[in-house]
């Protein structure tokens, strides 16, 4: 599976994260998220069903994405977040801000 699988319908993008989100993969995802934002996407869903590990760099990237998609007509959600990662996001008190949904 590719690291990232993107499906777009108009201004909506579903992006499946097919790898761990860490210092190794964050730069590639950051570039992709910047391109998505610049292309006028207002509804971004990140599917974490293929993600096992999330490090501090990955969390920082998610928070930056959340900042870019806060307010106005933009919306960000994390879906299919594995229980362990969801628990981490809750402990850090960012699960609600990221629109995280366990799955």
The SS3 call for residue 43 is strand
Burial of 75 (0-12, 13-18, 19+ CB in 10 A): middle
- Cα–Cα distance for residue pair 22/13, rounded to 1 Å: 22
**Nearest alpha-carbon partner for 51 in 76, 23, 84:** 84
**Nearest alpha-carbon partner for 69 in 44, 95, 35:** 44
The predicted structure's pLDDT at residue 1: 47
DSSP state letter for 52: -
What does the pLDDT look like over 75-90, one tens digit per residue?
Answer: 999 999 999 999 999 9
What does the pLDDT look like over 12-71, one tens digit per residue?
Answer: 999 999 889 999 999 999 999 999 999 999 999 999 999 999 999 999 999 999 999 887
CA angle, 81 then 70 then 35, to 5°: 80
- For the chain, the structural domain boundaries read 4-102
Give the CATH number of domain 4-102: 3.30.750.24
């Amino acid at each position: 599976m590719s690291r990232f699988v993107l499906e777009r319908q108009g201004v909506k993008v579903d992006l499946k994260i097919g790898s761990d989100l860490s210092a190794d993969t964050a730069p590639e995802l950051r570039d992709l998220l910047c391109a998505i934002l610049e292309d006028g996407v207002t509804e971004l869903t990140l599917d974490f069903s293929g993600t096992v590990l999330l490090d501090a760099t990955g969390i920082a990237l998610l928070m930056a994405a959340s900042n870019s998609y806060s307010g106005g007509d933009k919306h960000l959600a994390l879906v299919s977040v594995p229980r362990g990662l969801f628990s981490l996001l809750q402990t850090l008190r960012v699960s609600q801000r990221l629109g995280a949904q366990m799955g």
